[in-house]
Structure 1
Amino acid sequence: MQPKIRVGGWDWAGPQFQNGFYPADLPEDWQLPFYANEYAQVLLPQQRWQAASRDDWQEWRSEVSEGFGFYLQLEQPESFELAALETARAVLGPQLVGLVQCAGEPVLLASGVPVWSIAAPEASHRVWTADSGAVSCGPVGLLKQADFSDLRALRAQIEAFAGACESEEAVLFIDASPAALDQAEAILSLLGLA
């Protein structure tokens, strides 16, 4: 059975969203609601979510629908701050979908927050990347490329993720412009994976 795959971006305030995605006159503090109107999940870089205060999390939660999901990226496990994760969990509740670990040995949390890792030994907790190929994985994929103009290559990556994913529902985070995310959504729709 093929999974249903949603697309998400890396940080609504990231540079890839600052070049034409938001209207020029849109205030910065309206960017998250604008982003959330297009995409139902976001992957926040570790530096950003660890610097967020309780007030930041409360504001962000109030600006999105209940179905919006926050995924937190863990790029540097050695600088992981459990207190920052606990603050996010306390404010977001089920809207904190999980931690996506991109480097190092998988962290184990007793907090009940799911962790998916590139290095996870179990497929259900493994993050898919373009380098993973057909290795079984859980419900999270990460796609970073310099060029998304080759739609056949993008389709091949999406099909590889769909074939490797062992979950019924999944999310593919794409570190690219909103146009590339839209192309991925169109491909998913054409493949019957949306």
Structure 2
Amino acid sequence: MENLQVGTYGWQYESWIGGFYPEDIPEDWQLDYYSNAYRVLLVPEQAWLSWNEVDFEEILDAVEGDFGFYFEVVDDLDSNKEVQLTKIVGVFSETAKGVVMFSEKERFESSCCGLPVTLISKSQVLPGWQWKVQGFTCSGEPCGVVIELTSQPKEQTALLKSFVGGFPDGCQGAPLFVKGSDIDMTQVYNLKTIGEFLGY
């Protein structure tokens, strides 16, 4: 992995059709297309909870090379989530990279189902690495989440420098995910381009 990998929260958005995705692209090809442009993906909890064994294979077939899946967990990992995520990790193997937990509950586990955990919270932090952004703290395993991405290049540059500048010694790189009500892929592309220009 390079120092920085930019990705998004999910890959299926109506607003991406005709912009990021070609107008006539079949839904089954969207992940293939996404994975050619971006190498990491934060999978929404409701998405991975609905996957079955056929989905596992189709999703893995859609990505090639060094692609990384990160899995959203909301609040905590109950038994149903744990069973499903354990199955996914078993099948996805090295492409399953981490858990991104959105929670205000006090917790101290640094791994879930064998995956390292990044906690995104307003009130709680995990030991070790921390990055404060937009009123939240990302902590634990280095991994950033931006809830609303600014469209200003100078602000995007400052965001990237803040994120990468806080990596702990020996960190081989980390993903930065864009989340929000409506993700603008032009701005995500700009963020990725600025990161490459900065040498990240």
Q: TM-score, normalised by structure 1?
A: 0.85
1:192 Cα deviation after fit? 1.6
The answer to whether 1:92 aligns with 2:99 is: no
Number of the residue aligned with 1:171: 175
Is the alpha carbon distance of 1:110 and 1:101 closer, same or farther for their aligned partners in structure 2, counting shifts above 3 Å? closer
Structure 1 residue runs without a partner (length 5+)? none
Matched to 1:131, the amino acid is G
Deviating 4+ runs (over 2 angstroms): 14-19, 104-111, 118-121, 126-133, 135-139
Structure 1 residue 15, shift from structure 2 partner? 4.5
**Cα pair 2:40 2:70 within 8 Å, conserved:** yes
Q: What is the CA deviation profile of residues 49-91 of structure 1, one whole-angstrom value per residue up to 9, with x for unaligned ones? A: 1111121111100111131111001123265611110121121
Determine if the alignment matches structure 1 residue 131 to structure 2 residue 135.
yes
Q: 1:83 maps to what in 2? A: 83
Secondary structure of 1:30's counterpart equals helix
Root mean square deviation of aligned Cα: 2.5
**Contact 1:106–1:117, Cα closer than 8 Å, also in 2:** no
Q: Which residue of 2 aligns with 1:42?
A: 41
- Which amino acid in 1 is paired with 2:118? W
**Structure with higher strand content:** 2
**Counterparts of 1:39-78 in structure 2 under 5 Å?**
39-77=38-76
Q: Structure 2: which 5+ runs fail to align?
A: none
Distance 1:115 1:26, change over 3 A: same
Cα distance change of structure 1 residues 110 and 28 upon mapping to structure 2, 3 Å threshold: closer
Q: Which secondary structure does the structure 2 equivalent of 1:114 belong to?
A: strand
| Offset of residue 174 of structure 1 | 1.2
Are positions 1:122 and 2:127 aligned together?
A: yes
How many angstroms does 1:136 deviate by?
A: 7.4
Q: Which amino acid aligns with 2:21?
A: Y
Deviates more, 1:26-35 or 1:61-70: 61-70
Letter in 2 for 1:65: E
Matches within 5 A, 1:175-190: 175=179, 176-190=183-197
| TM-fit CA distance, 1:121 | 2.6
Alignment check: 8 A CA contact 2:49 2:81 kept = yes
1:154 lines up with 2:161 in the alignment: no
Q: May I ask how many residue pairs the two structures share in their alignment?
A: 188
